[in-house]
Structure 1
Amino acid sequence: MKTIKTIVVVFVALLSITAMNAQEESGASVDLGLDVQSRYIWRGLQLGGASPSLQPYVELSTGKFAFGAWGAYSTGGVSAGQEADLYATFNATDNFSITLTDYFFPVEGGAMDYLKYNGHVLELMLGYTAGDFGFTLATNIAGNADMDANGDQAYSTYAEISYGTTIGSADFGIFAGAVFMDDAGYYLTSGSGFINLGVSASKEIKISDSFSLPVNAALTVNPDAENVYLTFGFSL
């Protein structure tokens, strides 16, 4: 029960120490903004209902480390799929990274005991790139939102391979993702399945001489759930 609370406290402490040290490092930077998506599609799953999603973020980077917070909030007022996440990334090399993410799913109007076990999932993710190809492996290692019928940790695992290139003025990508050991139904499968296949594109649209708007679109198919989504978004 104390696992998530300890991790959150340690994360905030590390973020504070890093922020103070970053003031003395010329390579430190802070990035923040807001993504607006027509729907919130995550790993082939639609979260937050069939309404646009506002997704704010802030990240502090210094050296090989990055610490950040990310959120998702449905404009349709749907509680399911709302998020307030914390993450820490270690870029071991130019090609390999390790990310620890604390996913938290708040419920509007309800007390969720943030510093306890309720509503959290802790995920460990490994990322590797080789040229234009990328590979991701992510496993839930703690959290009561991914427990099976016996109350045991399910360790739901997601794997994805992707390829990206540039066509004209746009960045183009294809991706394929599958889930394993999903005994708790965290990814809404019966244990395993292909849940995230699709193509994506992004580019910048010039609005004026001093401002360009980054836009993106994706066609996502979830073969396991027999669903398909076409989404559009932009970043501020």
Structure 2
Amino acid sequence: MKFRVLFLFLVFSSSMYSQENQLKTDSISSEKEKSISLKLDLVSRYLWRGQCWGGDYVALQPTIEYAITPKLTLGFWGTTNFKSDYFYPDETTFYKGYQEIDFYATYQLNDFLQVQLWDYYWPSVNRVDGVDNRFFNYGNDGVKTVDAILYFDFSEGYKYPFNATISTLVAGNDYQYDNNGENPKQNYTTYFELGYTLTLFQKSLIKTLQGIELDPFIGAVINNKAAYYNYADYDEVSFCNMGIKATKEIDLGKGISMPLSLNFVHNGAKNNTETFGKNFLVVGISFNY
């Protein structure tokens, strides 16, 4: 009898140990699979907070993220429209060619608040007088800026799926000048954005319609005296980024998804929107792994 009890105990213990090891293995494997994320976006034009960079040209935008811990992530993002001309032939419209390389870090403080730090690098596609394209130049003739962001996201597990962004430029070429164009000082340009997420047709019999997301948003820059937001008002609060984005994600299998997006943006600034206009429609296709 004692032998049978001992035998059953050993079998049970072995089974539990195997299951525990398997769970640990699955967990480690899952963490390894999720430690690196890859994304490739193809958009009909590049818009950032209501600012059009690079004109009406298709842009390619890769993203690479590495999760150091479940809360801490490092990332790289870039964009290019493959144009090499800095001005149009009449030299009245800027930035026909545009490129940008960003490095960033994010830290998840809790289930709804994330801290982000972005290092923007936007070198001109060819040499321009008075512009220094060196990577580590954060001065007033450089093309580097550092953005500190608080991102609130209540889209999961909360009754009201709001999200909010508070962004302040804390270093780099974000300077305001006196009336004589002298004595540059850091401006700390700050941007606020509020968004909401709606998921439509969750119970639809038509699979194509299931899970379409609508994200209305409104964003404003409040102290644009350094004119960092070129296509916004400089002397008052400027609602430069208002619109709605529709997204439908398609699962391609093997951990790959393909979100399709249609984004309408209205720049409500009173001034400085003449170059590209106020209304934009951006079509996008992405591949995520």
Name the TM-score, length of structure 1 as normaliser: 0.82
* Identity fraction in percent: 33
8 A contact 2:223–2:234 mirrored in 1: no
How many pairs are equivalent?
Answer: 212
2:282 is aligned with 1:231: yes
Aligned ranges 1:190-229 → 2 under 5 Å: 190-191=234-235, 192-205=237-250, 213-224=258-269, 225=273, 227-229=278-280
1:15 equivalent in structure 2: none
Deviation track 1:32-71 (CA, whole Å, cap 9, x = no partner) reads 1210000101101111111011101100012211100100
1:118-157 to structure 2, matched below 5 A, reads 118-130=142-154, 131=158, 132-144=161-173, 146-149=174-177, 150-157=183-190
Moved more, 112-121 or 95-104: 112-121
Q: 1:88 aligns with which of 100, 105, 112?
A: 105
SS of the equivalent of 1:27 reads: helix
Structure 2 gaps of 5+ residues are 1-27, 87-94, 178-182, 202-209
Post-superposition offset of 1:154? 1.0
How high is the TM-score relative to the length of structure 2? Answer: 0.68
Q: Give the unaligned 5+ runs of structure 1.
A: 1-23
**1:63 is aligned to 2:70:** yes
- Equivalence for 2:133: 112
More strand by share: 1
Higher deviation after alignment, 186-195 or 98-107: 186-195
Show the counterpart of 2:118: 101
Q: Pick closer, same or farther for the CA change 1:112–1:217 going to 2, 3 Å.
A: same
**Per-residue deviation, residues 156-206 of structure 1 (Å, max 9, x unmatched):** 100000000111221111000000111011112213310111010111357
Counterpart amino acid of 2:42?
Answer: V
Give the secondary-structure state (helix, strand or coil) at the position aligned to 2:137: coil
Mapped contact 1:71–1:85 kept (Cα < 8 A): yes
